[in-house]
Amino acid sequence: MIQFQQVSKRYPGGIDAVKQLSFEIRSGELVFLAGHSGAGKSTLLKLIAGIERPTSGAVLVNHQNVSRLSRKALPYVRRHIGLIFQDHKILFDRSVFDNVRLPLDIIGFSGPEVRRRVLAALDKVGLAGKESLNPIALSGGEQQRLCIARAVVHRPAILLADEPTANLDRDYAHDILELFKSFHQVGVTLVIAAHDESLMADYGRRILRLKHGEFTA
């Protein structure tokens, strides 16, 4: 599903965010990405989504070389990927409902189908009944759930989450991880970046550990 071949990313200024990474994530796998902040977790996720282009090497998603895609083709690849951002990127000028519907508008869903899917996604993440609120009225944990609802509303095959449990207390973090587990059970490929490894241990999944842009044992 996702394949890295000798991928390096150097940011302007000579900082190597990731160095010569090669790995493969199979379809339907749930993989944790561990490491301190600055280890290259976010960069790795951005490379998968085509938000960053590698300095060298190839990133394959669904057998497509994302790093070589044209500007025109990239949006269509991103529609198969659900993104949960570290900084949420929630739009506060519109309701919870309108935040979640954005991917559906982009793909071109209409009328009753939009409503059905948005409400289903909100229900799934435990925000049922809050669709008409402004996101500012939600708690931190609820905003995180809103972000997840927006990422899954168009049922992407791949879900990438950057620090989804940061700033959440332990119980709440477990709730979120349970939510991801339920997506995993219906066949979604998940890559979850987190710095707190103790959370991942409970799930007994594959863990990729990054340090200074390289894998450690």
Partner 1 sequence: MKHWLRLNRLALVRTLGSMVRTPVNTLLNLLVIAIAASFPFGFYLLLSSVAAVTGKVPVEPQLSIFLRNAATPAEIGKLKEQLATDGRVAQVRFVPRDEALKQLQERVGSADLMAGLTENPLPDAFIVTARLGASSAELEQLRDTLARHAGVEEVQLDSAWAQRLERLIALGEVLLQVVVALLAAALALITGNAIRMQILTRREEIEVAKLIGATDIFIRRPFLYMAALQGLLGGLAACGIVAAALSWLNPAVRDLAATYGETFLLRLPNPAEVAVVCAITVLLSLAGAWVAVWRHLRRHH
- Of 141, 128, 46, 124, the closest CA to residue 90 belongs to 141
Nearest distance from residue 203's CB to partner 1, in Å? 26
Among 51, 58, 133, 166, which residue sits at the site for partner 1 (rule: CB under 8 A)? 51
Contact call for residue 85 and partner 1 (CB under 8 A): yes
Window of 57-65, 72-80, 170-178, 191-199 that interacts with partner 1 by CB under 8 A: 72-80
Cβ neighbour number for residue 191 with a 10 Å cutoff: 23
Backbone Cα Rg of the chain: 17
Contact call for residue 11 and partner 1 (CB under 8 A): no
**Alpha-carbon span 115 to 122, nearest angstrom:** 11
Amino acid at 67: S
Contact call for residue 70 and partner 1 (CB under 8 A): no
Judged by CB, which is closer to partner 1: 1, or 74? Answer: 74
**Alpha-carbon span 198 to 203, nearest angstrom:** 10
Contact call for residue 93 and partner 1 (CB under 8 A): yes
Contact call for residue 72 and partner 1 (CB under 8 A): yes
- Of 198, 140, 139, the closest CA to residue 174 belongs to 198
* Site mask for partner 1 (CB under 8 A), range 149-188, x = bound: -x--------------------------------------
Q: What single DSSP character describes residue 19?
A: E
* Site mask for partner 1 (CB under 8 A), range 127-156, x = bound: -----------------------x------
* Site mask for partner 1 (CB under 8 A), range 189-208, x = bound: --------------------
- Strands 214-216, 206-211: parallel, antiparallel or unpaired by DSSP? antiparallel
Nearest distance from residue 103's CB to partner 1, in Å? 5
Q: How many CA atoms lie within 13 A of 79 on its CB side?
A: 14
**Alpha-carbon span 4 to 6, nearest angstrom:** 6
With residue 173 as reference, give the H or E element that holds it.
helix 170-185
Chain residues binding partner 1 by CB under 8 A are 49, 51, 71-72, 75-79, 81, 83, 85, 89, 91, 93, 102-103, 105-108, 110, 150
